[in-house]
Amino acid sequence: GRLEAVTQQMGYHPQYLDSFLKTQHYLMHMDGPLPFDCRHYIAIMAAARHHCRYLVNLHVLQFLQAGGDPQWLRGLDYIPPKIRNLNEINKILAHRPWLITKEHIEKLLKISEWSWSLAELVHAVVLLAHCHALASFVFGCGCEQDEGLGGRGSLKTLSPGTQCFLEASNSCGQELLRISRKRSLDSCMELDSLRERMQQIHVETEGREEMRLLQQDWEEGEGQGWRGPCVTDSCAGLFPLADPIGEVTGATNLACYMQDPDFGYQDFARRDENQTQVFRVQDYSWEDHGFSLVNRLYSDIGHLLDEKFRMVDGLQSTAMAKRQGCEPSVFKRGIWNYIHCMFGIRYDDYDYAEVNQLLERVLKVYIKTVTCYPEKTNTEMFNRFWKQFKHSEKVHVNLLILEARMQAELLYALQAITRYMI
């Protein structure tokens, strides 16, 4: 299946992979408020915000398998208004979740015949947050450059035109048909069998990946062709620059799935002070507020999400922590709180001076890029940061990014829903 690259990366941590696949299976394939085709189309909309063709392709195939209308794949102008109305909160959650308000929620719940129910909206919000965060993982681990069926390599862009890139040629259509006849990995493979397979991948791939990276470093040499991503001027020169319109992002191909494409992340620290306030976890937290709300409106998803959050917190990062001279829990909390800080979420009991002490500049730039604008990430950035650590340790950082980002988006969305309900 098209998810193979993601499962191979997450397979370095098999227990987390098991929890992730259970959650994804429940979101996409089990009973819930939303029809199956709508779920996959919402996932397409979410992935398109970050130009993530890997996830778009995956959910296009599953959208068609679920009986979705192929006309919808021509873009937002061809879908029902009810789904198109999600575009605003999709855009806000993906880039500046602190801007979401109860008015956005009210608008979706009170639009005559196109109105959403609370249960449907919670399902949609969880899907959006899940796919935004997964897009960060896909780019952060280099899965976007995996051709899926043909192994590693650059994704090929199609010629620009009026048609959406998913309206394939005859040869591509035959390939889509062939793939669609396969059973979906996350919906049809038994988890017990998958666990055994991932254990095998974990053993076989670790050494192979390290040898590949060592060979690549040997061939390329140090310091050739380096330019920094446009994060901050002070960080220039750390990583190769991602091509903004080249083979990796292919933004023109996904334009039909989004509106206002220029809307992107903006540093929370530079916001208008009169416009929004810092989100204090002491006032609204996942454990005390978000979990119960989401579980009440979308049965059992809260338990699955909570298990996933706890699972990533329980992963070991001994080597990373030793390098920084601290306990693993301290190091992981520094990464988690740094990510939440970029979205305006603060913990009153945490000394944020620790972030600069624990996280090297190279790592901070990598985390910020993957979290806030993952489409600017490329595989070179993944290979270059912390060369001395195992591949599994790098994947662990990306799992922390995935879960911290997802929880941040959920906290803002669920708080807005709570305020609407009061």
**Average pLDDT value for residue range 286-295:** 95
222 or 314, which is more confident:
314
Least confident of 7-11, 21-25, 226-230, 281-285: 226-230
List the one residue out of 324, 389, 337 whose CA is nearest residue 367.
337
Alpha carbons within 13 angstroms on the beta-carbon side of residue 70 total: 7
Percent of the chain whose pLDDT exceeds 90: 55
**Alpha carbon separation from 6 to 58, 119, 202, 279, 399 (Å, rounded):** 11, 29, 13, 32, 11
pLDDT at 50 over 50: yes
Q: What mean pLDDT do residues 229-252 have?
A: 31
The size of the chain, in residues, is 422
Residues 6+ apart with CB under 8 A from 269: none
The active-site residue, picked from 38, 52, 143, 372, is 52
Higher pLDDT, 232 or 324: 324
In this prediction the pTM is 0.75
75 pLDDT above the threshold of 60? yes
Which residues on neighbouring strands pair with residue 146, listed in sequence order? 152
Structure tokens at 186: 């996350």
What pLDDT, on the 0 to 100 scale, is given for residue 318?
Answer: 65
Nearest to 92 by CA among 391, 340, 343: 343
Q: Give catalytic status of residue 52 as yes or no.
A: yes
Q: Which residues, including other chains, have CB under 8 Å from residue 264's CB and lie 6 or more apart? A: 95, 373
Grade residue 2 by pLDDT with cuts at 50, 70 and 90. Answer: very low
Burial state string for 327-352 with b = 16 or more CB within 10 A and e = fewer than 16: ebeebbbbbbbbbbbbbbbebeebee
**What does the pLDDT look like over 158-169, one tens digit per residue?**
222 223 323 322
Residue 233 DSSP symbol: G
- Can you name the residues that pair with 346 across neighbouring β-strands? 280
**Could you tell me which residue, 154 or 321, shows the higher pLDDT?**
321
* Cα diameter, the chain: 63
Say how many C-beta atoms besides its own lie within 10 A of residue 28's C-beta: 21
298 has pLDDT over 80 = yes
pLDDT tens profile 318-362 = 667 676 677 888 889 999 999 999 999 999 999 999 998 888 888
Q: Which of 128-137, 363-372, 389-398 has the lowest mean pLDDT?
A: 389-398
pLDDT greater at residue 339 or residue 254 = 339
**Hunting for tokens 């889509």 — which residue is that?**
176
**408 contacts 339 by C-beta, under 8 angstroms:** yes
Segment 57-85 mean pLDDT: 94
Least confident of 180-194, 284-298, 350-364: 180-194
160: buried, middle or exposed (CB in 10 Å: 19+, 13-18, 0-12)? exposed
Most confident by average pLDDT, 159-163, 182-186, 412-416: 412-416
Percent of the chain with pLDDT over 70: 69
Q: Which amino acid is at 26?
A: Y
Residues linked to residue 279 through DSSP beta bridges, in sequence order:
345
Q: Which residue has the higher pLDDT, 218 or 17?
A: 17
Check whether 34 has a pLDDT greater than 80: yes
